Structure 1
């Protein structure tokens, strides 16, 4: 049965440290971690979560876009665990979009990201997958990839004036 894990908050060293490659995907402890991450992310209304956010410095994250109270316009997709993910290429075309983070509650920032990216990762069954991602899904992947690289979205905000409270963000997107 999955366990709801505590989410590391900005200032916790695990959010800034180097992450290790994932071992054997069949390891029951790894599979239990993935289930815990899914449950924790769902409970917190996230659209993604990285292992460092639950105090595990591993190159693992989940992308699980779906409409929810934090992201009402998010497209729906099946939750996907991505082990040892890489960005193979990214488009020169970028777009600034609003991001929030379970580890930085109450703040949203306007973050420039590549509109399209090519990615490679291992599935939770160990299969090597390559995909092209675009739009919101590409944004979530890049956000989570930052987490396994010791970065948070605040590091990517071009101007401090591009930061708003969660309440103001929700007012902006519903206007």
Structure 2
């Protein structure tokens, strides 16, 4: 199975290095020197990682055959894809690969059906499940321990304990403006 592990960013310096946006929890395994990665678009690859280093908090890679800034810039926005055994599991106990979570049924702790996971969005602060409801609408569920209480791969379901308003429209919204209007106060 193929998984996107990074997106190539801008060139760094004049010797062919590029910044990369890491899209894997295991960059030391997937983006190590010697790794051969497929690309999207496919015509750009495959690419073999020659060197890698961290500079100012960003991962910099150099690929075999890319020796200058022009060559590095030509790779900008290309996705790097690793071949992964579908049975392989992440090292951490409560970690999952995106393909394991896709299409899981989402239910609340009291058993109400919410929908199924159609996408995982990786944001800087947290990951989000994009859940398609039975009516075709979507709801976004933060993939945090307080909300996603259980992932059961054997049963193909994710159990959530959503706060009010996350999956329904029954949240009460209170604002100071509403209370001042109710008491007749005007500014």
Scaled by the length of structure 1, what TM-score is found?
A: 0.24
Q: Point out which structure has higher relative CO (alpha carbons under 8 A, 6+ apart).
A: 1
More helix by share: 1
TM-score calculated relative to the size of structure 2: 0.23
Kindly name which structure, 1 or 2, has the bigger radius of gyration based on alpha carbons.
2
